[in-house]
Chain A
Amino acid sequence: MNLFTIATKPRHPAFAVTLVAAATLAACGGDKSSGANAPAQGTTVNVTMMETTDLHQNILGYDYYKLAEDKSVGIERTSALIRQVRAANANTMLFDAGDIIQGTVLGDYQALVNKVPCTDKLAIFKAMDAIGYDAGTIGNHEFNYGLKYLAQVTGRQFNTPNLDPVASQPKCQGPAYPQVLANVVSTTDAKPIFDPYVIVTKTFSATTPDGKTVQVPVKVGVIGFTPPLIMAWDKGNLDGNVTTTGLKETAEKYIPEMKAKGADVIVAVAHGGPDNAAYSATMENGALYLAQVPGVDVLMMGHQHQVFPNAASTVAAFNIDGVDKKAGTVAGVPAVMANFWGKNLGVVNLKLTYGSTGWVVDKTATTTATMSTQNADKSYVAADPAIAPLVQTEHAGTIAYVKTPIGSSDFRMTTYFADVGDTTAIQIVNQAQAQYVKDYVAANLPQYKSLPVLSVSAPFKSGFGGATDYTDVASGDLAIFNAADLYLYANTIQAVLVTGADVKAWLEKAATRFNQIDPTKTAAQSLVSTFPGYNFDVLDGDGSIRYEIDVTQPQGSRIRNLTVNGNAVDPAAQFIVATNNYRASGGGGFPGLDGSKTIYRSPDANRDVLIAYVKKAATLAKATNGSDRSWHFTRVATAGPVQFSSAPGLAALAASDGVPGVTQVLADDGAGLGLARYQIDLSVQ
């Protein structure tokens, strides 16, 4: 096993001198408390141990789908917090608890699109090395791109069956800090694929009992763990190549070894948090049991994407016996979890006292906390200016990638008038979903091959945030980021088997989007209710479906003339409807949709299915992809105006998209969101 002890790279000239002393002491060995260079008994050290976790390739505060700044995320701001801590205390260490290389478009770009070369360091590791980490572990998402890629970007060579012999593997650029992982072992040699632990010798400023400041070496042993469930989550990448071991027994094996090699303090860095389920060697979050292993002095946690300590937390994992969410301890061990995406920094202020057995953690003087990149006034700390230049090339490359055309269209896709029948931004989603499900049914569910496959989708962006909060994709090239505008949510495709009666009930629920209109009223009436636009499901069947919404009727009695291929829908007839997992599981409270009618749960995201459909189609035309008006309002003459709000100055767009009788009556509807007031003539629908 390639265990090793390192001295940290000096960040300041002064450290170089003290490291020599540290090396000398380490070589002496023997009784820790009485060696020639041993500190006086009673000497104390205050050290601040910091943690980041679940960074998920969030380096800059930027949203690659929106192509806009997002100050709430990114290690460039966490770095500013780290600088603050280092300015306040010369004795610090920094650890990372994993899930580093995957999670943003940048991560996919470097792994799958424009693969980072062996000679280059992954962007996030460039940033982390600039910040300066002492050690870190490996999260479950590190395995998402396969072992070969993981070996490359971490600068490792794995002795696993799926890779070339170690001697033939290149030694690529990895992070400068040691990455440790004790509970993933190769099936080839039964040894951990990463070093299970590292012992880092730090030189800290200490205070002797008589008040003098001295420099002392402290050996900090760091051991890392990942959730054993990686064997299920990344089965395709890992099965037959590695196995996992349980946190508890792995720690029990290595910690005595670390102690024997001279570790004064043991820091367990676990990509996982606490869980009060009975211990299992395959449990996802085994931190509670890990903390109970003798010798663990500090616990750095992750994976659960939470803040710990947090006295106000309602998270179940932090409200169990053995976890003190206020004091920040797990099984009495000081512990932190630093949220995710670089939003927070975990901080453990540790007091060490030198005694007859060496350095001992004074738990009564130890505190834990997290710092946030967001200030009390909701502003954010300034980004560390040193980070952005390091990843400028990767950042620009990712932006160029999301702007890369995946197809083109000859029409503008918008939701400005989706409430009154415009389907230019919805039809293409329905087409992609329906085709995907049809293909699946044909291949896998032959008993349903004769059933019509319909699809529903909704105008996810319908003006909640103002005039810019609508889907608006210009004609011309379509890029990946446009797909996020067309399909906002991280849903996956599902297909449900429903009856004609169910379909009608579904549409009735969607039609509660509208207020009941009294045609005799002369005063203006507002068309759109408080029922959210994201639940206004529009049913489409590529020209086969037609229905009317009669807004003069009460809720539940508005769907009229529902036909498929010109025939009235039989309430008992069966249909397959392509939708998303949220709706199929009961999201939105649609009648009869509760998870029990699902016949296909796809692992694929609706957005990805849309991208694949556009790529295959290459060219989208309004005639075939954006003009099928599956529904319209039932014609009725109203004595007064029927009004709704949308972005200003777009009445002509409604007309060109096939929605007649729309006129703008007020450039500002007065709601303070920059929306205009329109009216629609229901007698010409």
Chain B
Amino acid sequence: MKRAIAGVALAATLAAAAAAARPFWVAPDAAQAQSWLREAADRRDAGAEASLARWSARGNAPARHAYAMLLSHRGDAVSSQRLAQVLADGADAGDAADATRLAELLAQPSRPGASREDARVARLLAQGHAGHVPAAARLLALRALDPARGTPDPARAAAWMAEAASGGDAPAMFLLANMLRAGQGAPRDDAKALVLYQAAADADYAPAIQALAIAWRYGELGLQADAAQSRLMDHEAAEALAHAAL
């Protein structure tokens, strides 16, 4: 990892040093270097962004991930289009995480023509799943529950969701907890749902914290109703939401 970013940093130095606020090539580690470079690019530092784009196109995975994050953060139509290409490059290079993120991007309802790319999404998710990307298992679970694709298969969805949750995917923990509360695809299990909500909350996943706030307020999932604890969770949720918004 450090060797890879060193390559990026050295090459990018000349292009971006003049404009970048910080000398990222002296960053203590790869994460910091990427962070600084992305910050510079995010400030519309053309040199830094060009460096990221160039090294991403040359197949440098850390640069591609940083560039994808930058484009994802911007969210405008042009960036979104470029993001799809960057992720497609990653998927073509065998990056299962990029394949999964591209599948998620292509399936977004706000994306024009999302339904036309369904077969491609399925292939990308298969690639992500084969690469043990937890989010891929979650997205497969959601497809298994989608009545537009045929008869929903809750048991299969629950199995996939459990796989994603055990891989550390916080949204999957939350969704699996919901399924367990409802006995959807698996026997009802409030105790396990509570553990999953707590695990997702530990990962700062706001909906899970909100579920806990409600559970404390109304004494659900085996908890004893506690208004103060509920209020504390509400505060935590607000903070997690503020972080997520960034």
0 or 1 for each of A602-616: is its CB under 8 Å from B? (1 = yes):
010100000000000
B165 within 8 A of A: no
Kindly provide the distance from the CB of A376 to the nearest chain B CB, expressed in whole angstroms.
Answer: 15
Contact between B242 and A281 (Cβ–Cβ < 8 Å)?
A: no
Per the 8 Å Cβ criterion, residues 23-41 of B in contact with A are: 27-29, 31-32, 35, 39
Flag if A587 contacts B241 (CB, 8 Å): no
Contact for B145 among A231, A447, A490, A594, CB less than 8 A: A594
Q: Give the residues in chain B near A594, CB-CB below 8 Å.
A: 142, 145, 175
B236 touches A589 (CB 8 A): no
Q: Is the CB of A281 within 8 A of B234?
A: no
Q: In the complex, which residues of chain B have a beta carbon less than 8 angstroms from the beta carbon of A233?
A: 242-243, 246
A233→B240 CA distance, assembly (Å): 11
Contact B39–A231 (Cβ < 8 Å): yes
The reply to whether A490 and B235 contact each other, CB–CB distance below 8 Å, is yes
B10 within 8 A of A: no
Query: Given the complex, which residues of B lie within 8 Å of A597, measured CB to CB?
Result: 109
Interface 0/1 of B150-186, CB less than 8 Å to A: 0000000000000000000001001100110110100
Contacts known (A492-B241, A497-B109); A280 close to B174, Cβ less than 8 A: no
Contact A447 B174 (CB under 8 A): no
Total interface residues in chain A, CB < 8 Å? 59
Task: Note all chain A residues with C-beta closer than 8 A to B232.
Answer: 305, 340-341
Q: What separation, in Å, do the CA atoms of A586 and B182 have in the docked complex?
A: 12
In Å, the complex CA distance between A581 and B238 comes to 11
**Is A281's CB under 8 angstroms from B32's CB?**
yes
The 8 Å CB contact of B207, one of A280, A281, A317, A586, is A586
Task: List A contacts of B214 (CB < 8 A).
Answer: 489, 532, 534
Q: Is the CB of A280 within 8 A of B218?
A: no
Complex partner residue of B210 from A490, A532, A589, CB under 8 angstroms:
A490
**Smallest CB gap from A314: residue in B:** B198
Q: How far in angstroms is the closest Cβ of chain A from B194?
A: 10
A86 within 8 Å of B by Cβ? no
Identity of the chain B residue whose Cβ is nearest the Cβ of A535 in the assembled complex: B214
A490 touches B142 (CB 8 A): no
Cβ of B167 to closest chain A Cβ, rounded Å: 14
**A619 at the binding interface (Cβ < 8 Å):** no
| A396 within 8 A of partner (CB) | no
Contact indicator B213/A489 (Cβ below 8 Å): yes
Instruction: Say if the beta carbon of A638 comes within 8 Å of chain B.
Output: no
Within 8 A of A (CB), among B172-211: 174-175, 178-179, 181-182, 184, 195, 198-199, 202-203, 206-207, 210-211
Whether A103 lies near B43 (C-beta < 8 A) is no
- Closest chain A residue to B217, Cβ basis: A464
Interface string of B206-231 (1 = CB under 8 A from A): 11001101100110000000011001
In the bound assembly, the distance between CA atoms of A589 and B157 in angstroms comes to: 14
Q: Is A279 an interface residue (CB 8 A)?
A: yes
Q: Which residues of A contact B244 (CB under 8 A)?
A: 601
Tell whether B245 is near chain A: CB-to-CB under 8 Å.
Answer: yes
Using A314-B198, A589-B182 as known contacts, say yes or no to A532 and B142 having CB atoms under 8 A apart: no
Complex-state Cα separation, A592 to B182, whole angstroms: 14
Kindly state the interface size class of chain B when it binds its partner: 35 or more
Q: Tell me what chain B mostly uses at the interface: helix, strand, loop, or mixed.
A: helix
Q: Which of A239-247, A518-526, A658-666 contacts B (4 or more CB under 8 A)?
A: A239-247
Given that A72-B228, A587-B207, A587-B211 are known contacts, is A490 also in contact with B234, CB under 8 Å in the complex? yes
Q: Are A447 and B210 in contact (CB under 8 A)?
A: no
What's the least CB distance linking B105 to chain A, in Å?
A: 12
Asked if residues B184 and A589 are in contact (CB atoms below 8 Å), the reply is yes
Would you list which residues of chain B between 104 and 151 have a CB under 8 Å from chain A?
107-110, 112, 139, 142, 145-147
Contact for A316 among B147, B202, B210, CB less than 8 A? B202
Do A599 and B112 touch (CB < 8 A)? no
**A596 within 8 A of partner (CB):** yes
Contact A243-B22, Cβ < 8 Å, known A490-B234, A490-B237: yes
B245 touches A492 (CB 8 A): yes
Distance in angstroms from B222 CB to nearest chain A CB is: 14
Query: Smallest Cβ distance from A402 to chain B, in angstroms?
Result: 16
A582 CB contact (under 8 Å) in B145, B146, B210, B246: B210
Partner-B contacts on A (CB < 8 A): 56, 63, 70, 72-73, 103, 187, 231-233, 235, 239-240, 243, 246, 249, 279-283, 305, 314-317, 340-341, 445, 447-448, 464-465, 489-492, 497, 501, 532, 534, 581-582, 585-589, 592, 594-601, 603, 605
Residues on B lying within 8 angstroms of A by beta carbon are 21-22, 27-29, 31-32, 35, 39, 43, 107-110, 112, 139, 142, 145-147, 171, 174-175, 178-179, 181-182, 184, 195, 198-199, 202-203, 206-207, 210-211, 213-214, 217-218, 227-228, 231-232, 234-238, 241-246
Known A231-B39, A281-B32, A589-B178; 17 more pairs at CB < 8 Å: A70-B228, A187-B21, A246-B28, A246-B29, A281-B29, A316-B203, A317-B202, A490-B234, A490-B235, A490-B237, A585-B171, A586-B171, A589-B179, A594-B145, A596-B109, A599-B110, A605-B238
A/B interface sample: 16 pairs, CB < 8 A: A72-B228, A103-B235, A231-B39, A447-B110, A465-B227, A489-B213, A490-B213, A490-B241, A492-B241, A534-B218, A581-B207, A585-B206, A585-B207, A594-B175, A596-B142, A599-B109
